[in-house]
Amino acid sequence: MAGTKEIKTRIQSVQETKKITNAMYLIASTKLRRARLELDNTRPYFEALRGEIKRIFRTANDVDSRYFYPVNDDTPREGTYGCLVITADKGLAGSYNQNAIKEAMKLLEQHPDIKLFVVGEYGRRFFASHNISIERSFLYTAQNPTMARAREISALLLDGFDRGELKEIFVVYTDMENAMSFQARSARVLPFHRTYFNTSTGEGAATEPFEFLPNVRSVLDSMIPSYVSGFIYSALIDSFCCEQNARMTAMDSANQNAEELLGELSLKYNRVRQSAITQEITEVSAGARAQRQRKE
């Protein structure tokens, strides 16, 4: 049986770890609250923008743009794809990073010719250690998603797309379904597919014809970059929320484990101490008795 001293050090180290996990839990919960507020602020804009692109599709069905699939054509394009993978900068967030990476690997298996754009240190390290080349990685973005950063990333992706280097653009992010569950997803951002927009019904069809100024194409051309940067921004924030949520859950269970471990250890410690005391008493009384017997 371990001595009292060993158990005491063990208890101390568990307590110190618990302090750290508890602090991380609190930090994650405040960050989550802040990020959620930001997400709520962007939602109306993003949903309106998405709705408008949908409407333009319906009113102007014959519009031809490089951002769209040709009508009635659903075959995946040939060539290099671009994929933005959003991971966290740090681990200790349960299965959050693994799930995002698994999703990205699935894409890579289907279509090996992918240029990776990675957000977050964790993803960068993973791909580097598995000898998968990364086109570009963005650091410090995962912790602090801002519109400016999203604009930068989307400018980079759109530039590749416009020059024809990237045929399709995917984003792998983690979506928060509700407060407790989240899921890694891959979404195709460009090019758009009509049916993808059309299937999700919700609003009535356009009743009156719109006047497009100066024309449909240039309206779309000015909307698409906003849409892409908006999409990336909300994906970044969504992922950030999930990361914090995952970390909160992970730290919460770490706290519980520490609590359990502490209970066990203190029980063990008390037992050891008790048995040591008992032994000491036995020794003293046995010694005393021996001395008395010798005197008589």
Partner 1 sequence: METFQVHILAADKTFYEGPCVSLIIPTSDGERGILAHHSPMIAAVKPGTLRYQVPGEKPRLAAISPGMVKVEHNDVLVLVDSAERPEEIDEARAQREIEEAREALLQQRSRQEHQLAQATLARALNRLRVKNMGIGR
Residues that bind partner 1 (CB under 8 A): 38, 41-42, 44-46, 48-49, 52, 56, 147, 151-152, 155-156, 159, 208-214, 218-219, 221-223, 225-226, 229-230, 233
Task: Please identify which residue in the block is written with the tokens 């801002």.
Answer: 146
For the bound state, the minimum distance from the C-beta of residue 162 to partner 1, rounded and expressed in Å, comes to 10
CA distances to 125, 227, 244 from 241, rounded to whole Å, are 22, 21, 5
For the bound state, the minimum distance from the C-beta of residue 172 to partner 1, rounded and expressed in Å, comes to 22
222 or 293: CB nearest partner 1: 222
96 or 161: CB nearest partner 1: 161
104 or 241: CB nearest partner 1: 241
94 or 160: CB nearest partner 1: 160
65 or 218: CB nearest partner 1: 218
For the bound state, the minimum distance from the C-beta of residue 66 to partner 1, rounded and expressed in Å, comes to 17
For the bound state, the minimum distance from the C-beta of residue 230 to partner 1, rounded and expressed in Å, comes to 6
Question: Is residue 133 exposed (0-12), middle (13-18) or buried (19+ Cβ within 10 Å)?
Answer: exposed
126 or 227: CB nearest partner 1: 227
For the bound state, the minimum distance from the C-beta of residue 156 to partner 1, rounded and expressed in Å, comes to 6
For the bound state, the minimum distance from the C-beta of residue 178 to partner 1, rounded and expressed in Å, comes to 23
| Residues forming a β-bridge with 117 | 84, 136
Q: Which amino acid is at 123?
A: G
Distance CA 104, CA 109 (A): 9
DSSP β-ladder status, 114-119 and 81-86 = parallel
Distance CA 87, CA 121 (A): 7
Q: Which amino acid is at 65?
A: S
Let me know: does 118 contact 85? Beta carbons within 8 Å: yes
| Residues forming a β-bridge with 187 | 171
